[in-house]
Amino acid sequence: MPQRTLFEKIWDSHVVCSGPQDSRILYIDLHLVHEVTSPQAFEGLRVAGRNVRRPELTVATLDHNIPTTGNRFVIEDALARTQVETLRHNCREFGVRLFDLDSPEQGIVHVIGPELALTQPGLTIVCGDSHTSTHGAFGALAFGIGTSEVEHVLATQCLVQKKPKTMLVHFAGALGNGVTSKDMILGLIAQIGTDGATGHVVEYAGEAVRALSMEARMTICNMSIEAGARAGMIAPDETTFTYLRGRRFAPQGAAWDQAEEYWRGLSTDSGAKFDATVEISAAQLAPFVTWGTNPGMSAPVTAAVPDPAQAADESERNGMIRALEYMGLRPRTRIEDIAVDRVFIGSCTNARLEDIRAAARVIRGYKISDRVQGMVVPGSQNVKREAEREGLDKVFVAAGFEWRESGCSMCLGMNADKLGPGQRCASTSNRNFEGRQGAGGRTHLVSPAMAAAAAVAGHFVDIRGWEYRD
Amino acid sequence: MQSFTRHTGTSALLARDNVDTDQIIPKQFLKRIERTGYGDVLFFDWRYDPEGLANPAFALNAPQYSGASFLITGKNFGCGSSREHAVWALRDYGFRAVLGVSFADIFVNNCVRNGLLPVVLSPAEIANLTSRARLDTPLTLTVDLEQGKVSADGGFSASFQLEPFRRMCLLEGLDEIGMTLKHDAEIASFEKDRPAFTHHA
């Protein structure tokens, strides 16, 4: 057997047979489903008289559309309510497990999968959601699909795929204090662009990656799609096994031993070849803040908004001019001089317990700025309960933040949580596209600690100089 | 699914890079449970002003682009969210193909399952088409998937390629699920050999 990458090992072990032309029929171990991208797929099954092939490998949750306020069981938006009811109905009809709003384990699909250990090394995992790449942090092959493909997986437990290319992103050295995995991925996208990894499955490696917790690894893999990647993955290690052991759907007893032995073989062989390689010095990364309208438009917090006059070509210059106009920013404004109106701590990128803790540590002993409205939306009911057990909700509320129920919330503003036109937000989410958080809203992507510090200061500040009061 | 073999029609120009699916169809229109009826809200935030009137500054509202069945754009079109609604909206509006320098992966996967052809051309070819599409008279193109050719009045001609499986999906308008289900025995045998610890959910 030639030397293989982690991706190739998982790919090879899931090819059922050749499909038409250059395609392969790939087996899917876990299919995650949410209310927004699934109704047309279930309807397609009904119209064709087809069934869900493996309902026990299919898991659904409600996350995109739901309110995050106190009584979230009452959904006032009629369309959202219909979509929620439709998923409930579909799960009942086809026998799919649903983590509904009254479940103590409901949450954002990419938060609860890992939390419940549905996500495991070596699996193929898909979901009608581009941030499915999150699950690659466990050494799984996980990627987002469209609704037609959702229907295909429901009916066949397989996907017809062409083998993607491979890319190694190597983070050498160690991260500085106050620099997080959010800054690693923003730094990568700034370097290679939002299409830098198109067509590739990225493996993240190097000392700085090995040192990360599972939560931090999920943040990197989550935003792989923002570099255009098909998927992102990190080889499993002791950190992975320690995280998974004892969780609800993790193998137990002898099955665990068998699984762990298999998982330990899931790393790239030395000498295996990648189609592309990117080298990044982790030690040189600073906390990043996006200034534009895609995740590649970012700068270190110590820098300034760039000048379109310095753009490499006309197309880039036009893009920058458009972005700065939308964002209401002038070239060469210092990042630290940008004032914010809203702060959003949430999303499948950064709403896990470690993220909530990092933000709370910054906030403790402070009040948020009078001009800022702050909101914390835990990624799941588990995260919320655990944070409350640690008293973190009280830290946020004392500082002036709202403490909400779990869901996708203002990451994409499908529910009532939205930016108003012109409002500027420091957000721990993943996309700063025009209108993403609300029509006319202006999003700056940052790490949880950077978002918390911006809430207190009323503008961006370098978290590396923060005076903690704990 | 509707197939794509050869089509002649006029073109609209959206001369921008990195057009993401949040722009193609904003989130408030993802709450519907149907596959159709998205054409009127395609590019909603760009296309309409806050009062709901057509924004004259937006390219698609220009009179020479009315009724276009091709969209000419830049690089990395369709990046971001996996929402298939973006493709449904482009199809519903009347587009049969999008011509650009590059496309996002999930977007292409969604295109070929809905009869929308993604045509990758070189930056120089897109620049050429862009300058032709800027004129006041509509630019008529013929896109032929069987031949892998794009041609325009006035001498423009270019070749393009699509991966064989995707090309076949579009040419034949396949029922992909039906095709995979023919491999039922192989899938069942594969499932039998999966280690027990992978069947956990």
Which string of DSSP letters, residue by residue, matches A201-268?
A: EEEEESHHHHTS-HHHHHHHHHGGGGGT-SEEE----HHHHHHHTT-TTS--HHHHHHHHHHHTT-SP
**The pLDDT of residue B197:** 78
Among A307, A301, A305, A304, which Cα is nearest to A288's? Answer: A301
Tokens at residue A230, please? 């098909």
Which residues have CB under 8 Å from A85's CB, separation 6+? Answer: none
Is residue A313 less than 8 Å (CB to CB) from chain B? no
Q: What residues of A are in contact with residue B91 (Cβ under 8 Å)?
A: none
A342 touches chain B (CB under 8 A): no
**B130 part of contact set with chain A, CB < 8 Å:** no
- Which two tokens mark A240? 């992975």
- By Cβ distance, the residue of A155, A199, A294 closest to B18 is A294
> Per residue in B163-183, pLDDT tens?
999 999 999 988 899 999 999
B69 touches chain A (CB under 8 A): no
CA-wise closest residue to B106 among A52, A159, A36 = A159
3-state secondary structure of A292: coil
Q: Helices A392-399 and A353-363 sit at what angle, rounded to 10 degrees?
A: 40
Distance CA B7, CA B96 (A): 8
Q: Where are the alpha helices (DSSP H) in A291-380?
A: 314-327, 353-363
Is the Cβ of B134 closer than 8 Å to some Cβ of chain A?
no
Average pLDDT, chain A: 97
| Strand ranges across the sheet with A442-445 | A401-403, A373-376, A342-345, A424-427, A442-445
A121 Cβ contact partners less than 8 Å away, ≥ 6 residues apart: A138, A139, A140, A236, A240, A262, A263, A266
Q: pLDDT, tens digit, for every residue of A168-185?
A: 999 999 999 999 999 999
If contacts are CB pairs under 8 Å, which of residues 159-198 in chain A contact chain B? Answer: 160, 162, 164, 194-195, 198
| All residues at 6 or more sequence positions from A354 whose CB lies less than 8 Å from its CB, including other chains | A213, A215, A216
Asked if A135 is an interface residue toward chain B (Cβ–Cβ < 8 A), one would say no
| Residue in chain B lying closest to A154 (CA) | B177
User: Are the C-beta atoms of A317 and A149 separated by less than 8 Å?
Assistant: no
Sole residue written with tokens 């939205």: A418
Both structure tokens of B62: 């220009």
| Token pair for A42 | 């279930």
Give pLDDT, residue B154: 84
Phi-psi region of B190 (alpha: psi -120 to 50; beta: other; left: phi over 0): alpha
Q: Which of B180, B184, B186 would best serve as a mutation to test chain A binding (most A beta carbons within 10 A)?
A: B180
**Which pLDDT band holds residue A71 (cuts at 50, 70, 90)?**
confident
pLDDT confidence of B200, banded at 50, 70, 90? low
Match 């009809």 to its residue by tokens: A93
Q: What is the mean pLDDT of residues A66-76?
A: 92
Determine the average pLDDT of the residues in A294-322.
96
Transcribe A54-102 into DSSP letters: -GGGEEEE--SS---SS-TT----HHHHHHHHHHHHHHHHHT-EEE-TT
Mind listing the pLDDT tens digit for each residue in A121-146? Answer: 999 999 999 999 999 999 999 999 99
Residue of B nearest to A164 (CA): B105
Q: At what angle do helices B105-112 and A147-156 cross, to 10 degrees?
A: 70
Mutation site for B-interface testing, chosen from A158, A244, A412 by largest number of B Cβ within 10 Å: A158
d(CA B139, CA B11): 6
**Residue A54 with chain B: CB contacts under 8 Å:** 191
Kindly tell me if the per-residue pLDDT of A280 is higher than 60: yes
For A89-109, what is each residue's pLDDT tens digit? 999 999 999 999 999 999 999
Backbone φ, ψ for residue A418 (5° rounding):
-140, 155
Distance of alpha carbon A301 from alpha carbon A292, whole angstroms: 14
* Six-digit token string for A424: 């500027």
CA of B174: which chain A residue's CA is closest?
A20
* pLDDT tens-digit map of A184-221: 999 999 999 999 999 999 999 999 999 999 999 999 99
Cβ pair A90, A96 in contact under 8 A = yes
Q: Is A318 on the interface with B (CB under 8 A)?
A: yes
Q: What is the pLDDT of residue B119?
A: 98
Question: What is the band of A44 on the pLDDT scale with cuts at 50, 70, 90?
Answer: very high
Count of CB pairs separated by less than 8 Å, A with B: 210
Structure tokens given for A142 = 């996980």
Residue A17 pLDDT greater than 70, yes or no: yes
The minimum CA-CA distance between A194 and chain B, rounded to whole Å, is 8
pLDDT bucket at A324, cuts 50 / 70 / 90: very high
- Angstrom CA distances, A51 to A25, A32, A60, stand at 19, 17, 16
Q: Which of B32, B75, B183 sits opposite A79 (nearest CB)?
A: B32
pTM for the whole structure: 0.97
Three-state secondary structure call for residue A410: helix
**H helical segments located in A328-425:** 353-363, 381-389, 392-399
A97 part of contact set with chain B, CB < 8 Å: yes
Q: So what's the pLDDT on residue A470? A: 75
> For residue A25, what are the contacts with CB-CB under 8 A and spacing of at least 6?
A15, A16, A17, A18, A19, A158, A159, A160, B180, B183, B186, B187
pLDDT in tens, B16-37: 999 999 999 999 999 999 999 9
Nearest CA-CA partner of A181 in A342, A352, A383: A352
Tell me if B83 and A413 make a contact (CB, 8 A cut-off).
no
Integer angstrom CA distances of residue A366 from A50, A251, A388, A462: 57, 43, 19, 16
Q: Does the beta-carbon distance from A118 to B187 stay under 8 Å?
A: no
- Model pLDDT for residues B53-88, shown as the tens digit of each residue: 999 999 999 999 999 999 999 999 999 999 999 999
Answer yes or no: is pLDDT of B51 > 60: yes
- The interface predicted TM-score (ipTM) is 0.96
B-contacting residues of A 207-226, CB under 8 Å?
Answer: 225-226
Q: B92-110: per-residue pLDDT in tens?
A: 999 999 999 999 999 999 9
Cβ–Cβ of B31/A80 closer than 8 Å?
yes
pLDDT for res B15: 95
Query: What pLDDT is stored for residue B201 in this prediction?
Result: 56
- The two tokens of residue B4 are 């794509």
Distance between CA A336 and CA B138 in Å, rounded?
48
User: Could you tell me if A66 lies within 8 Å of chain B, comparing CB atoms?
Assistant: no
